Chain A
Amino acid sequence: MDRRNFLKLSTASASACLTGFPVHGLTQSLPQGRICLIILEGGLDGLAAVPAVGDPEFNPARSELYAQNALEINPFFALHPSLKSFAEMLFNGEAAIIHATAFPYTKRSHFEGQNLVETGLQVPFSSETGWLGRAMDLAGIAGRALSLDTPLVIRGTNDLANYYPSSITGSREASLTVLEALSAFHSGPFSDSVAVLRDQQMANSSEPRVRDAAGLALTAGQAMRHDEGPRVSVIRVNDFDTHANQGTDFGRHARQLAIVDEVFDGYRKGLREKWRDTIVLTATEFGRTVYENGSAGTDHGYGSVGFLAGGLLKQSSVYANWPGLSRRDLYEERDLWSTLDYRAVCAACIEAALGLEHDVIAEQIFSEPALPRVFNNLFG
């Protein structure tokens, strides 16, 4: 695939999920903070997004895949030029980058890895609930999703409903008669689903019909801005599996990063004054190989990078216990090491936004009592 084709493949899909609506009557005791999670599907190449230009091994490894117009953050790290809004947040003191980090998973399978990003555990396919869902349960917030499916990461709360704008034009919504009859005749999840539709119909809710990532983030942010609105949202951006023709300043990977950038920007615009109570974070299943493969791309790896932004951060920072890029410093001589369990970052975000205690988060959400607390590094 050459560059011309990246442009044609621009129908990158994204889906968003809004959740954690306050339960009526409990509003007083609710946390003020908001968490927005951006899941980057396919395995984000941390070294392309945040090149370690100060490492002498970087250039030899990445001669073909280095974005020429990367923005200098400090003498050691640069930022991919697609991340314009994020750069602005970084310079405004409301963003952070965590490098050489990953969920604790080293086997390089997308599907196991994606499952662990959502469950927050160490054994693939071992849980039916997700870490954000469990956090919402502990914080006592019920949920509603804004996506076609319900992402695993927020499953775990009892009251999950969802909405996602349909493009089936001209079709009319089912009548109450139909919904009530179906609700009575179905049992289990179907009955719940139909009951939710019936309630939505009765509440006569009308929602905007935008479905691109930026639009969804804006919509999500606007909904989260209200005191009665949701506290948690999830947006998925796919297509980071850049095995071939990854591109540099432009191309496939740059395009996907630009979408991520629009999501950050959409949240900030939608949330307005509530941005100060918000933390937005990214998560991906793994990073990619340090060395380019033979097709101008990178294969599945280990350590990657995480992006954080939002008013809950007191200052901008780049946080990395840098493991080095020379062959002997790499995981299995090929991947960037992870020197920080990314779940520690997730835990700090939960602590900052939902007010749960670190020990509770570590034990009850991530089943990892020894999870390090990095709250003070990021939010202190």
Chain B
Amino acid sequence: MGPVYWQRKLGLGRLSDQDAFYDASKSEFVDANLALPVRFTGYSSHLSTAASVEWPDALSYGLEDRIQRTIDKRTAEDAIDEQRLDDEQERSLLRQEIRKRYSVMDIDIYRFFHTGQSTNADVNFRLSVFWLNHFTVADVGPNRELIGDYWGDMICGGLNGSFKDLLYRAISHPAMLTYLDNIYSVGENSERGRECRGRNCTAGLNDNLARELLELHTVTPNFGYSEQDIKVVANILSGWGFIFDKPAPIENPDYRRAFVDYNAEPGAKEVFNTSFSAGPNGLRELTDFLAEQDATIIFLSRKLLQHFATERPRQADVDAVARVWRETEGDLQSIHREALIRSLDYEGQRLLWPSQWAMSVLRLSHSTLFKGFNDIEIDFMEAIERDPVRLQRELGDSFWARRQPNGFSYATADWMSSEHMDRRLRFASLVQRGGRPEITTSDIIELNQFSDSTRDLVAHGSSEFEKFALLTCSPEFLEV
């Protein structure tokens, strides 16, 4: 098995025969792929050719813009509520108008799917999906315009940095602070906590983010922390983030480092036999501390191998990735490199997640199933078939949609079923019917060098329609 298979295993499959690293060794192949930054690409219309172009600037948004949109959208919605319209239909029309005017979440989702389908940096794209799933955020309403920044800017832009930076930026990102309720958390002895004491207003700690930071993002319960430890971590986190539809309690807020002293528990904090500073610096010290713990390093080394290699990676491989992690003090590119090269030693032991499989199907067949970036706001009759989010929900793994913070499961038994198989067959037929594939099944087989066994399987099909379903649902296509 060589580079063509590796591209399917670590990435999403070969886009064309122009790939530069055709004769590479494993390490050359991985290095060449890791050197490609994720640039956002897509097609303009589902009726255009699948050849991708750069994602338009007009559909790209900075964090400040996104937050302003969140605030403006809620102000506009409040204005509707104040009109007290009796007509439900009129109200819902007005709401739709507002959504079209201010919301960018749909555009972000299309950008995510279009890019996966067309990027030449598909290995880095899959790494971004790994981190997006590890630091899961989901649409809880107030954060929906921010998730595009979280993935596109924070994660894609952070793949070549250090884990420490990524951890700190993920935990302090407004999308995360909102998703796990930290914006509602108030230190008992903070200015606000004291003002509220004894009066008819509630203000107190909310430990949701603190708990998941320890359990899911870093050290895991094996570390052996107590409820008291969680409380101290929640105290360190108090003050981070604020509610966008309420008047900001500070002037000219810096949204990227949204620390509100008014809500923060004062003083230095002591936990894990370590002292953490008062004020905003405490969080950086805490995330740096957690990033260095062996429990974190081993947990994440294994998880990376699970994403690319197998549910149960060999201990020696986990140890090797962890060793690089320690030696480079958490340099993500070196860590990714080690994990990816080692993943290439495992063949056919991992099932592609539903959405990554779907992207791969669209990519290899050069299909334009989803709406193009110029058509996002147009309502088609067959909307579900051209809407990546709804389709992804049908396939079973929803990013963006509301979900639990542990993300999509690495245990195949949690999601594999006959119904899943049916969904994949349905999706394959959908691509044939409405996706305008530009490449035939036999060309996909040639370009991606599928095995003789797969060729035999596909030969059972009596039409292009059946051949395509057989290829995309073949063992070799599903299991990498």
A contacts, CB < 8 Å to B = 1-2, 4-5, 8-9, 11, 13, 41, 64, 107-112, 128, 145, 147-150, 152, 155, 161-164, 166-175, 177-178, 180-182, 185-187, 189-190, 192-194, 196-197, 200, 238-239, 241, 243-245, 292-297, 299-300, 332, 334
Bitwise, B278-312 to A at CB < 8 A (1) or not (0) is 00000000000000000000000000000000000
Nearest-Cβ distance from residue A378 to partner chain B, whole angstroms: 31
When chains A and B are docked, how far (Å) is the Cα of A155 from the Cα of B412?
13
Q: Provided the pairs A174-B469, A239-B402, A295-B181 are in contact, do residues A164 and B416 lie with their beta carbons within 8 angstroms?
A: no
Among A112, A152, A182, A332, point to the contact of B221 (Cβ < 8 A).
A112
Closest to B81 in A: A4
10 CB-based A-B contacts, threshold 8 Å: A2-B245, A64-B202, A145-B417, A147-B417, A163-B419, A169-B385, A171-B429, A243-B181, A295-B184, A296-B202
When chains A and B are docked, how far (Å) is the Cα of A150 from the Cα of B433?
30
Q: Inside 8 A of A1's CB, which chain B residues have their CB?
A: 140-142
For the residues of A in contact with B, the DSSP-based class is: loop
Interface size classification for chain B: 35 or more
Q: Provided the pairs A149-B415, A244-B181 are in contact, do residues A197 and B422 lie with their beta carbons within 8 angstroms?
A: yes
The answer to whether B429 touches A244 (Cβ under 8 A) is no
The answer to whether A293 touches B205 (Cβ under 8 A) is yes
Q: Provided the pairs A1-B141, A169-B384, A178-B466 are in contact, do residues A147 and B419 lie with their beta carbons within 8 angstroms?
A: yes
Total residue contacts A-B, CB cutoff 8 A: 190
The answer to whether A193 touches B417 (Cβ under 8 A) is yes
Bitwise, B129-173 to A at CB < 8 A (1) or not (0) is 000000000001110000000000000000000000000000000
Closest to A2 in B: B245
Is B93 an interface residue, CB under 8 A from the partner?
Answer: no
When chains A and B are docked, how far (Å) is the Cα of A321 from the Cα of B396?
41
Nearest-Cβ distance from residue A182 to partner chain B, whole angstroms: 6
Q: Which of the candidate stretches B10-18, B55-63, B250-258, B454-462 sits at the interface with the other chain?
A: B454-462
The answer to whether B427 touches A295 (Cβ under 8 A) is no
Among B141, B203, B402, B425, point to the contact of A178 (Cβ < 8 A).
B425
The answer to whether A177 touches B202 (Cβ under 8 A) is no
Q: Provided the pairs A149-B396, A155-B413 are in contact, do residues A166 and B426 lie with their beta carbons within 8 angstroms?
A: yes
Closest to A146 in B: B419
Nearest-Cβ distance from residue A193 to partner chain B, whole angstroms: 4
Given contacts A168-B394, A170-B430, A296-B202, 19 further A-B contacts (CB under 8 A): A148-B419, A148-B420, A148-B423, A149-B415, A149-B417, A161-B418, A171-B433, A173-B422, A173-B426, A177-B466, A182-B473, A185-B456, A189-B416, A193-B421, A194-B418, A196-B418, A292-B202, A294-B203, A295-B186
When chains A and B are docked, how far (Å) is the Cα of A112 from the Cα of B385?
36
Q: Which of the candidate stretches B30-38, B103-111, B115-123, B206-214 sits at the interface with the other chain?
A: B206-214
Is B275 an interface residue, CB under 8 A from the partner?
Answer: no
Q: Inside 8 A of B418's CB, which chain A residues have their CB?
A: 161-163, 192-194, 196-197, 200
